[in-house]
Amino acid sequence: MPFETDSAAGAAAAGTGAAPALEPFRASQSLTLGVELELQLVSLSDFDLVPASPDMLDLLARAPFPGNVTPEITQSMIEINSSVHTGHGELLAQLREIRDTLVRAGDRLNVGVCGGGTHPFQQWSQRRIYAKPRFREVSQLYGYLAKQFTVFGQHVHIGCRSGDEALYLLHALNRYVPHFIALSASSPFSQGSDTSFQSARLNSVFAFPLSGRAPFLLRWDAFAEDYFNRMAGTGIVRSMKDFYWDLRPKPEYGTIELRVCDTPLSVERAAALACYLQALCRYLLEGNEPAPREDDYLVYNYNRFQACRFGLDGTLVHPQRHEQLPLREDILTTLRRLEPHAAALGSGAALDLLYRESHTGSDATFLRQAFEADGSREAIVDAALRRFRAGE
Amino acid sequence: MTDPYVSLAQLAWPLALVLSWMAGEILFRWTGLPRISIYGLAGFAFGNLAKGFAAPTDDNAFLLLANLGFGLILFELGYRINLRWLRANPWIVATSLAESSLTFVAVVLVAQAFRMPALAASLLAALAMASSPAGLVRVFNEQQAGGQVTERALHLSALNCVLAVFAYNAIVGIGVFQTSGNLGHAAAASLLVLGASALLGSVAGMLVPRWLRGMGRAGSSGGDATMTFALAVLLLVAVTHVLHLSPVLAALSFGLVARHRRSALGVAQRNFGALGDLLSVMLFVYAASTLDWQHVWAGLGLGTLLVIVRLTVKVGVCAAFARVSGISVRKGALSGLALAPMGVFAVLLIEQTRRLGVDLFHSLAPLAAIALLLQLAGPLISQRAVIAANETPYDKEA
């Protein structure tokens, strides 16, 4: 979910009536990474979403939390984020610690915690907006879209040395966005029905006016002045948080943020996806591919749709060569190409997990199997809860 | 030519139900008062006004209908209980045992201090242990409540109802033994009734999911499962009614067993939809109509005192166990407060006993007062508790 609390700069500017300026890009160590996960809070009595985030946050506040935990727009969601890491081992260890803490707290409150991009049968109209001014504002602006946006994503941040590096990476990654959609897809059901999509979640994101892709600008100064300031001047945006792009720069953290992933069913997959992005960024920064062009985006929405609809069985159109590529094959080829980078970053195990998943199927496949095996929608949630708790 | 009085008597009940329902809708809209409190008030007024020309309380059919409504609610409660939570957080069970037993002791002591005979005081205390699931489930559904106060109140209510039914039947058994001296008769009046009722419910809880799975309906809309469950509850309640067993335990164990074997079932519709709404109007109007104004008046003093004592114990114990069980003391106290409702549960249990030939209202005047007070104020207190705990949608409060 993209509704973050407002930035200090934006709020201050709003107070004075002046158009807010984009804050300078804070350089950070290249290729560091951090993960945010939006998680579902489920009643263990009936497996429906439950407005339990105030109670969970209250209980979690009693002891130090490994990482960070915050409320999200509806009370049936919770967001966690890791610290900044350099490698797979430490990221995974922290995510596991966070998971165990959440599961323990949930057990005391009859609340199940799980991943998955959507809840299979929750009704959006029953969701409840978290009592926070920003969330209420958003709810008033977007109406039912805000409650319909009870979907759960994983965001991955990658550290960049400069704004220019961030924009280069952001656009160079455009051709790989479908990989992340297909590998993380875990939202085949929505509002009680099979959507026939592998990731139905991203369709909810498209309803928002400032979603999609970032404008094709490769220099930070140009981005700040030619784009952001003009947009701010229209009064539509106050900070970067108002853009719900698939990939967006995050100047205050000195990162780019990938936002297309469904929350996977396990923290192991979440860590693996983050490390895949990290290795890919290392590969791209070494100049192994032709520079991105604006025309790359001609096929962007189509490729994105293929990944959402068919997942690993989708077909891509290469943005520059315009050849058709089976998505699964393209992922496997990329994984092989990234092996030396993964070795240098110490994330071989992460890529191995994705390699296996490319063969066995995504979380969406797993959830459909759970439904077929048992025939009930509750069984899908039950399977997701078990996978989150047990891992892998 | 039909006697006009007979015609009037035949129309009295349907008219009372329609008027109660309309009053409930209007006052809910204007004041936000729980609908079931209004039904109770209307039922009490009607029952006392109608005395002499329409005597619904003598009608077995109305007791059966009320029990059907109650059975649906109990099934829904059982269906919402997660026994694994009680294992994961044993403090919930500890809270329940403490609040139920201390309520029992406190009520016995106060009642005896007012010279009530030991047996009568114990029966009153056993009933005071329970929090009426009818009140809780209806109010929470009406408020779309969700959160720890809601969850805990529902689980505590299920537990204290079971404890209350056991205590109540055991005491009735002792009473029967003291009167008849026949141990077999006494046992039949208590433990056998409980065992057989729970067994019947459990069997239904195993058979119905199997039927649903066999019919391949589990994956389709929840409506199919709702219909099946509703019919099964109706049958179960009718069987317990005929066999003089406890519909409370049977319906509750049906819900519990079905829920824990549910891996193949859809979600039952909240409140059982329009059918549940209709039966609950009957249930709450009927339950209050059995209360006699003279009994209420005679027992008002002690009854009010007992209501206060009962609620103080429940709030105190839930608050005391709150932090250790994972919530704030405030939320603990609010979940104790949410346990206020009692009326319908007590009334139906007493009506059940009356069918066994023991009329407790005559010996338990304060009970009529308690039942009335808590049937009106109980749902309101529960409603206020979940609102104070921020467990209702904020746009509803605005």
The distance of B101 to chain A (nearest Cα, Å) reads 23
| CA separation for the pair A19, A235 (Å, rounded) | 7
- Beta-ladder partners of A258: A156, A247
A129: nearest Cα among A66, A199, A75: A75
Taking contacts as CB-CB distances below 8 angstroms, the residues of chain B near A50 are 146-147, 151
Q: Does A303 have pLDDT greater than 70?
A: yes
Q: Looking at residues A323-344, what average pLDDT do you find?
A: 96
Q: What is the mean pLDDT of residues A10-38?
A: 76
Choice among A220-224, B128-132, B239-243 with the minimum mean pLDDT = B239-243
Q: For position B109, what pLDDT does the model report? A: 95
Chain B CB contacts of A192 below 8 Å:
221
Chain B, window 13-72: residues with a beta carbon less than 8 angstroms from a chain A beta carbon: none
How much is the CA Rg of chain B, to the nearest whole Å?
Answer: 20
Least confident of A170-174, B134-138, B194-198, B214-218: B214-218
Residue A286 lies in a domain: yes
Distance, first Cα to last Cα, chain B: 57
Selection from B147, B356, B245 nearest residue A131 by Cα = B147
For residue A3, tell me if it sits in a domain. Answer: no
Q: Is residue A70 part of a domain?
A: yes
Closest residue in B to A44 (Cα) is B82
Q: What kind and span of H or E run contains A244?
A: strand A244-245
Mean pLDDT of A93-116: 96
Task: Kindly indicate the confidence band of residue A22, based on its pLDDT and cuts at 50, 70 and 90.
Answer: confident
Per-chain mean pLDDT for chain A: 90
How large is the angle between the packed helices B35-49 and B365-388, nearest 10 degrees? 160
Q: Per-residue pLDDT averaged across B214-226, rounded?
A: 59
Q: What is the pLDDT of residue B289?
A: 84
Q: How many Å apart are CA B284 and CA B298, to the nearest integer?
A: 23
Mutate to test the interface with B, among A49, A102, A110, A382 (most CBs of B within 10 A): A110
Name the residue among B346, B335, B334 with its Cα closest to residue B374.
Answer: B346
Residue B263 has pLDDT above 80, yes or no: no
pLDDT at A347: 96
3-state secondary structure of B245: coil
Nearest residue in chain B measured CA to CA from A58: B327
Q: Which of A45, A128, A131 sits opposite B82 (nearest CB)?
A: A45
Helix (H) or strand (E) holding A258: strand A255-262
CB-based contact B325 A374, cutoff 8 Å: no
Give the single-character DSSP code of B58: G
The 10 Å Cβ neighbour count of residue B244 is: 13
Asked if B85 reaches chain A (Cβ–Cβ under 8 Å), the answer is yes
pLDDT at B398 exceeding the cut of 70: no
The yes-or-no verdict on residue B396 having pLDDT over 60 is no
pLDDT at residue B224 in the model = 63
At A57 the pLDDT is 95
Instruction: Please tell me what DSSP assigns to residue A249.
Output: E
Which of B148, B213, B394 is closest, CB to CB, to A55? B148
Among B145, B142, B159, CA closest to B91: B159
Instruction: Say if residue A1's pLDDT is above 70.
Output: no
> Residue A246 — φ and ψ, nearest 5°?
-60, -40
pLDDT of res. B268: 55
A376/B325 touch (CB, cutoff 8 Å), yes or no: no
Tell whether the model's pLDDT for residue B206 goes beyond 50: yes
The confidence band for A13, taking pLDDT boundaries of 50, 70 and 90, is very low
Q: Which 113-172 residues of chain A touch chain B by CB within 8 A? A: 121, 126, 128-129, 131
pLDDT of residue A36: 97
Question: What pLDDT score does B96 carry?
Answer: 97
Mean pLDDT of chain B: 83
Asked if pLDDT for residue B285 goes beyond 90, the answer is no
**Which pLDDT band holds residue B247 (cuts at 50, 70, 90)?**
confident
Task: Report the DSSP beta bridge partners of residue A71.
Answer: A78
Chain B, 377 to 396: residues with Cβ < 8 Å from chain A are 390-391, 393-395
Q: Which helix (H) or strand (E) holds A345?
A: helix A339-345
Dihedral sign computed on CA atoms, order A180, A181, A182, A188: positive
Choose between A147 and A110: higher pLDDT: A110
Q: Is residue A1 one of the residues assigned to a domain?
A: no
Q: What is the pLDDT of residue A228?
A: 93
Distance from CA of A197 to the nearest CA of B (A): 19
Confidence of residue B361 (pLDDT cuts 50, 70, 90): low
Nearest CA in chain B to A139: B395
Expressed as residue numbers, the domain containing A58 is: 8-390
Helices (H), B181-221: 183-187, 193-215
Nearest to A240 by CA among A221, A257, A260: A257
Which is more confidently placed, B299 or B147? Answer: B147
Neighbours of A342 (CB within 10 A): 23
Spatial CA neighbour of B250 closest among B206, B202, B208, B283:
B202
| 3-state secondary structure labels for all residues of A192-210 | CEECCCCECHHHHHHCCCC
Cβ A375–B218 below 8 Å, yes or no?
A: yes
Inspect the interface and report whether the beta carbons of B80 and A45 lie closer than 8 Å: yes
Please compute the mean of the pLDDT values over residues A167-184 and round it to a whole number.
Answer: 97
The alpha carbon of residue A8 is apart from the nearest alpha carbon of chain B, in Å, by 26
How many whole angstroms separate alpha carbon A271 and alpha carbon A258?
A: 14
C-alpha to C-alpha distance for B46 and B27, rounded to whole angstroms? 17
Total domains, chain A: 1
| Residues B232-236, mean pLDDT to the nearest whole number | 92
- Measured on CA atoms in the order B131, B137, B138, B139, is the torsion positive or negative? positive
Q: Does A67 touch chain B (CB under 8 A)?
A: no
Please say whether the beta carbons of A297 and A288 come within 8 A.
Answer: no
Mean pLDDT of A176-196: 95
Mean per-residue pLDDT for B326-334? Answer: 96
- For A218-241, what is the mean pLDDT? 90
Residue B278 has pLDDT above 90, yes or no: no
The tens digit of pLDDT for each residue in A276-298 reads 999 999 999 999 999 999 999 99
Domains of chain B: 58-397 (1.20.1530.20)
The arithmetic mean of pLDDT across residues A5-26, rounded, is 57
Mutate one of A55, A119, A122 to test the B interface: name it (highest B CB count within 10 A).
A55
The mean pLDDT value for A88-109 works out to 96
Q: Are B354 and B135 in contact (CB under 8 A)?
A: no
The DSSP code for A76 is T
Using DSSP's 3-state secondary structure scheme, residue B12 falls into helix
Report residue A77 CA to chain centroid gap: 14
Residue carrying the six token digits 């006697």: B3
User: Cβ A378–B265 below 8 Å, yes or no?
Assistant: yes
Angle between helices B273-289 and B60-79 (to 10 degrees): 130
Secondary structure of chain A: what % helix, strand, coil (to 5)? 50, 15, 35
B157 versus B271: the higher-pLDDT residue is: B157
CA distance A264 to A244: 20
- The answer to whether residue A76 is domain-embedded is yes
Is A75's pLDDT higher than 80? yes
Task: Return d(Cα B142, Cα B39) in angstroms, integer.
Answer: 14
Q: Any CB–CB contact under 8 A between A109 and chain B?
A: yes
pLDDT for the residue numbered B221: 47
Residue A100, chain B, CB below 8 Å: the answer is no
Per-residue pLDDT at B1 exceeds 60: no
B294 touches chain A (CB under 8 A): no
Predicted confidence (pLDDT) at residue A305 exceeds the cutoff of 90: yes
Please give the torsion angle defined by the CA atoms of residues B304, B308, B314 and B319, in that order, rounded to the nearest 10 degrees: 160
The answer to whether the Cβ–Cβ distance between B146 and A129 falls below 8 Å is no
Q: Tell me, yes or no, whether A117 lies in a domain.
A: yes
Helix axes B60-79, B222-242, angle to 10 degrees: 130
CATH code, domain carrying A22: 3.30.590.20
Q: Which residue has the tokens 């939320």?
A: B331
Chain A positions in Cβ-Cβ contact with residue B146 (cut-off 8 Å) = 43, 50-52, 128
Locus of tokens 């709404």: B277
Q: Please name which of B173, B110, B62, B117 lies closest in space to residue B303, comparing C-alpha atoms.
A: B110
- Does A311 reside within a domain? yes
Above 70 in pLDDT, residue A349?
yes
In a domain, A72, yes or no: yes
pLDDT exceeds cutoff 50 at A12: no
Other residues' Cβ atoms within 10 Å of the Cβ of residue B242: 9
**Higher per-residue pLDDT: B296 or A349:** A349
Distance, in angstroms, between A68 CA and closest chain B CA? 20
Separation of alpha carbons B378 and B284, rounded Å: 13
Dist. CA B378–CA B305, nearest whole Å: 15
- Confidence band (pLDDT; 50, 70, 90) for A6? very low
Token pair recorded at residue B388: 């104070």
For an interface test with B, which of A53, A74, A78, A108 has the most B Cβ atoms less than 10 Å from its Cβ?
Answer: A108
**pLDDT cut 90: percent of chain A above it:** 73
* Shortest CA gap A112–chain B (Å): 11
CB-based contact, B325 to chain A, within 8 Å: yes
Residue B343: pLDDT over 50: yes
B178 pLDDT higher than 80:
no
